Amino acid sequence: MSTEQLFVEIAGWSGAVVILLAYLLLSIGRLTGQSAAYQWMNVGGAAGFIVNGWWHGAMPSASLNVIWMLIGAMALWRIRQRGSSTSTR
């Protein structure tokens, strides 16, 4: 296995672990869907899946995870906007 292939596999498995951990923490009430930590975990996990899916030619998976990552990024932007609007009051 080449270094590049190893990186791709590590990215994919790391993405899977991070997304599963985010879901576990959400499910047991340690995080909320509105927390930056939860959204960052989804963005990071999706990025790993994108790399792995693209490499393996799994375009449906890669495309789904691009959208997943964009949703997380939008949520992070809204969380930041909400935080900055409350600090100016």
Query: Per residue of the chain (89 residues), what is the pLDDT tens digit?
Result: 999 999 999 999 999 999 999 999 999 999 999 999 999 999 999 999 999 999 999 999 999 999 999 999 999 999 999 988 765 54
For residue 85, the model assigns a pLDDT of: 72
CB neighbours (10 Å) of residue 58?
15
Q: What are the domain boundaries of the chain?
A: 3-87
For residue 87, the model assigns a pLDDT of: 55
Q: From CA 40, how far away is CA 76, in angstroms rounded?
A: 8
User: Dihedral, CA atoms, 38, 39, 41, 45, nearest 10 degrees?
Assistant: 140
- pTM for the full predicted model: 0.88
For residue 83, the model assigns a pLDDT of: 86
* Packing angle of the helix pair 3-27, 36-55 (nearest 10 deg): 150
